[in-house]
Amino acid sequence: MRKFIVFLILFSISCVTTGPGGKTDFIFISTPEEVEIGKQVATDVEAEEKLLRNATVQNYVNDVGQKIARVCDRTDVEYTFKVIDKDEINAFACPGGFVYIYTGLLETLDNEAQLAGVLAHEISHVVARHSIKKLQNIYGYSILAQIALGDKAEGAAGDIVNVAAMLILQGYSRDNEFEADRYGILYARNAGYNPHGMIQVFEKFEKMEGNPPPAVLGLLSSHPPAAERIRKGESEIGRIGGKGFPYHEDRYKSIKSQL
């Protein structure tokens, strides 16, 4: 067994792209392993939550997500974007590119550039391997043996999937969040959206911080203060440009009317 693990480690170690400008990190959980973990977290999510039963809205959100996925720095996974029918102001990404957004958040937004900003932020967590890095920190190399030992029919070992799901619920570090904001602003702009859409979302959060509705508590407690995100986001937009890019308000309004 030991020999097998060493073999696995040697062939799994690699520096992979984890952000814009040729940023790389040391990741030893391979993409197929990550996708396997993510797929099972996504299966659990869909067993517990109700997906929105409106194909037009689902396709629209997925199309916006795919536009951003095409220009992001990670194209070795197939991204999916699905709407959960729940009055909660939140969105999250599972490892491997399975992204979810709640109807409560969709109802809070008022143009497509804002939606693009939210989805680009979630894609960025996947590009930067934020949850995978946390799994690596918790388990070390033993995670490879656990994945390898998992029954092929059942995929990755159950406790890894549970821990991955818990990490998503807990939220990421402030640094991870700022990183996802920064990449997301760039990706949204590169997909042709006004990057200021993301700032508009932060401004909405900022208004909620004073008197947060219960549906938003999770999101606000796990994310850095909105004022700081606005400040950093504005300076990033100043650097990369895109202020004249469209918001696509009409397109979004016709979809929103179907919620």
User: How many whole angstroms separate alpha carbon 259 and alpha carbon 241?
Assistant: 33
Evaluated on CA atoms 91, 92, 97, 98, the torsion sign reads: negative
Q: Are 144 and 5 in contact (CB under 8 A)?
A: yes
The one segment of 29-37, 45-53, 58-66, 179-187 that binds Zn ion by CB under 5 A = 179-187
The one segment of 54-62, 130-138, 176-184, 213-221 that binds Zn ion by CB under 5 A = 176-184
Q: Are 127 and 70 in contact (CB under 8 A)?
A: no
Minimum CB separation of residue 10 from Zn ion in Å reads: 33
CA 113 to chain centre: 16
Q: Are 89 and 219 in contact (CB under 8 A)?
A: yes
User: How many whole angstroms separate alpha carbon 66 and alpha carbon 78?
Assistant: 9
The one segment of 7-15, 27-35, 130-138, 180-188 that binds Zn ion by CB under 5 A = 180-188
The one segment of 138-146, 177-185, 202-210, 213-221 that binds Zn ion by CB under 5 A = 177-185
Residues 119-158, mask of contacts with Zn ion (x by CB under 5 A): ----------------------------------------
Minimum CB separation of residue 254 from Zn ion in Å reads: 28
The two beta strands, 91-94 and 98-102, are antiparallel
Minimum CB separation of residue 235 from Zn ion in Å reads: 19
Nearer to Zn ion, 146 or 200 (CB): 200
The encoded tokens of residue 26 equal 């040391």
CA distances in angstroms from 127 to 16, 79, 90, 114, 183, listed in the order given: 10, 11, 19, 20, 9
Minimum CB separation of residue 21 from Zn ion in Å reads: 20
Minimum CB separation of residue 121 from Zn ion in Å reads: 6
Nearer to Zn ion, 111 or 124 (CB): 124
Nearer to Zn ion, 94 or 144 (CB): 94
Residues of this chain that interact with Zn ion (CB under 5 A) are 177, 180
